Amino acid sequence: LAKTTQPISMDSYEGQEVNITCSHNNIATNDYITWYQQFPSQGPRFIIQGYKTKVTNEVASLFIPADRKSSTLSLPRVSLSDTAVYYCLVGDGGGSYIPTFGRGTSLIVHP
Amino acid sequence: EPEVTQTPSHQVTQMGQEVILRCVPISNHLYFYWYRQILGQKVEFLVSFYNNEISEKSEIFDDQFSVERPDGSNFTLKIRSTKLEDSAMYFCASSEVRGGRANTEAFFGQGTRLTVV
Query: Measured between CB atoms, does B48 come within 8 Å of chain A?
Result: yes
- Which residues on chain A are in Cβ contact (under 8 Å) with B90? none
Q: Average pLDDT, stretch B40-58?
A: 93
Query: How many C-beta atoms lie closer than 10 Å to residue A28's C-beta?
Result: 12
- Which residues on chain B are in Cβ contact (under 8 Å) with A48? none
pLDDT of A98 > 90? The answer is no
3-state secondary structure of B84: helix
Mean pLDDT of chain B: 94
Q: Would strands B112-116 and B10-13 be described as parallel, antiparallel, or unpaired?
A: parallel
Residue-wise pLDDT for B5-32, tens only, equals: 999 999 999 999 999 999 999 998 999 9
- For chains A and B, CB pairs below 8 A equal 68
- Which residues on chain B are in Cβ contact (under 8 Å) with A92? 101, 104
Calpha distance B44→B47 (Å, rounded): 10
pLDDT of A95 > 80? The answer is no
Query: How many C-beta atoms lie closer than 10 Å to residue A91's C-beta?
Result: 21
Q: Which helix (H) or strand (E) holds A22?
A: strand A18-23
Mean pLDDT of chain A: 93
- Which residues on chain B are in Cβ contact (under 8 Å) with A41? 89, 111, 113
Say yes or no for a CB contact (<8 Å) between A94 and B102: yes
Query: How many C-beta atoms lie closer than 10 Å to residue B115's C-beta?
Result: 13
CA distance B5 to chain A (A): 11
Say yes or no for a CB contact (<8 Å) between B109 and A43: yes
What is the sign, positive or negative, of the torsion defined by CA atoms of A35, A37, A42, A46?
negative
Residue type present at position A88 = C
Say yes or no for a CB contact (<8 Å) between A93 and B89: no
Residue-wise pLDDT for B85-110, tens only, equals: 999 999 999 998 877 677 788 999 99
Say yes or no for a CB contact (<8 Å) between A38 and B102: no
CA A65 to chain centre: 14
CA distance A94 to chain B (A): 5
| Residue B78 · residue B67 · CB < 8 Å | yes
pLDDT band at A94 (very low <50, low <70, confident <90, very high): low
CA distance B60 to chain A (A): 14
Q: How large a percentage of chain B has pLDDT more than 70?
A: 99
* pLDDT computed for residue B103 by the predictor: 77
Say yes or no for a CB contact (<8 Å) between B104 and A101: no
Alpha-helical (H) ranges within chain A are: none
Q: Average pLDDT, stretch A84-91?
A: 95
